[in-house]
Amino acid sequence: MAAKTYFWTGTDGDGDIENPTGNNWVEENGTVAGAGVYPGSVQADHVVFDGRALAAPLLNLDQAANANGILDLAVRKGFAFALGAIAAPLVWKIAAGSPVWRFEGTEHGALYLVATTAALAEVHVMATPDDDASALNLVTAVAVTEMRVIGGRVLLPKSLFGVTAAGVATLNVAAKPNAAAPIVRSWQPVTTVLNLHGGDFYWNEGALTQYYNFGGALRCQDSTIARTMTSGTQYAGSTDLRTGKSGTITLTNPLVYDGGQQPQIDTGATVHVA
């Protein structure tokens, strides 16, 4: 069967994603999903959280065993609740395909999301509330193919709910004109390339394979965990590799400095600036 798009309403007031009493999800055409029907219950489906929601999902947050899984997921403007919690994130099994997850809301609480089984092809973060307490917290068991962050706050923890993060292949961070610059705090590996076009990237843990800075800020002062960058080039912006602990940051190859602020390092640290 073709994938459907389900919108969370929470009308039943029980917060149950598995929808046992039949009013918590509606289809795109407005049809109520019916008792026991929820995204992935019949086939791989798309999921939307938006202004239709009357309450937060509270129960059965772990959908990792869902037989069919889900594809696209969106948190849109108007959604005014949290999704999951640090001890009980919203866990989705991902169906094979090219799922795209989008985050566009600025009214919601914290989002704790875990994706298992298959890769997310794209994650787009256009906006979240501008505070860490309401940030997107995302862990994926398979590396995200590409993540783009142009607004809001994103936390990439090392693990959630016993799931260890595989990280992100390509991570692009940029700032929208006339808007607050995004902030990304990461404990996950970036396995292919990190491109900073704007905003702040706090590198707290996890290897960086390739790093390019075109106008953002790379910061390391929040963690003394040892980590390695294979190679990097700064064309603009700033690169601050200071952690306050000598030897924390290792560059396999010299950092190429081609513009922007002079890179900062700890005295005696095992880093090299070309």
**pLDDT above 50 for 67:** yes
Mean pLDDT of 91-118: 95
Q: For the chain, how long is the longest CA-to-CA vector?
A: 65
Question: Coil, strand, or helix at residue 132?
Answer: helix
Q: How confident is the model at residue 109, as a pLDDT? A: 97
Task: Please say if the pLDDT value at position 265 is more than 60.
Answer: yes
Of 61-70, 203-212, 225-234, least confident by mean pLDDT is 61-70
pLDDT at 267: 59
DSSP one-letter code for 134: G
272 pLDDT exceeds 60?
no
Least confident of 40-44, 64-68, 211-215: 64-68
Residue 104 CA from chain centroid, whole number: 12
Q: Please name the residues in contact with 29: beta carbons below 8 A apart, sequence gap of 6 or more.
A: none
Given the structure tokens 């866990």, which residue do they identify? 91
- Among the ranges given (83-92, 131-140, 179-188, 238-247), the one the predictor scored with the smallest mean pLDDT: 238-247
If one compares 233 and 270, the residue with the highest pLDDT of the two is: 233
Q: What angle do CA 61, 63, 67 make, to 5 degrees?
A: 160
pLDDT at 71 over 90: yes
Cα 131 to Cα 96: distance, rounded to the nearest angstrom? 33
- Residues 193 and 243: their CA atoms lie apart, in Å, by 22
Amino acid at 164: T
pTM given for the model? 0.94
Share of the chain above pLDDT 70, in %: 96
pLDDT digits (tens, 9 = 90+) for 152-176: 999 999 999 999 999 999 999 999 8
